[in-house]
Chains A and B, each alone.
Chain A
Amino acid sequence: RKEVEQDPGPFNVPEGATVAFNCTYSNSASQSFFWYRQDCRKEPKLLMSVYSSGNEDGRFTAQLNRASQYISLLIRDSKLSDSATYLCVVKQGGSYIPTFGRGTSLIVHP
């Protein structure tokens, strides 16, 4: 079983739709969680950190469920410009080495 798992997609949604991705992690010692966005042939860029109580940044909401060991990313009112790959990243306690999921591809169409 991989340490961090994501559905690769692609998720194909119309503009204005709400879409959610999950990411499961296997190591219960995981302590830090992040969502990155990566456009084709570009570097990953931090979208948001994920806090225990959940957090929101505009149209984006991140949640952490420690009991079931997953994090989620919800995108409301999807824009064409949201089309990208979304990478889930997890750090274990006491480690500065992150583990990447394989990424989820999102395509938002007109």
Chain B
Amino acid sequence: GIQVEQSPPDLILQEGANSTLRCNFSDSVNNLQWFHQNPWGQLINLFYIPSGTKQNGRLSATTVATERYSLLYISSSQTTDSGVYFCAVPHRWGNKLVFGAGTILRVKS
């Protein structure tokens, strides 16, 4: 099946810093999602981004499907950005999402 790798596994930032999280996948996909799991455990949809670039406030994402990777940019980080960031892509057959292991982000004030 498709493999999803995220990097870095852990990241510690000072409040106000910028960061880039990466998601590599082993097969061609027709969509990709980024999620934020907050410290309370909720999985929050950030982006549904099959290709191209999307922006939502301080966050933006870019997917280059032909090169099998996606990037999540966080600018001017805040302590509320802390948590785990997951990317997920669909399995070849159907709409079952396969998740990466996540990037644990800690933003310190």
Q: Do A and B bind each other?
A: no
Binding site for B on A (CB under 8 A): none
Binding site for A on B (CB under 8 A): none
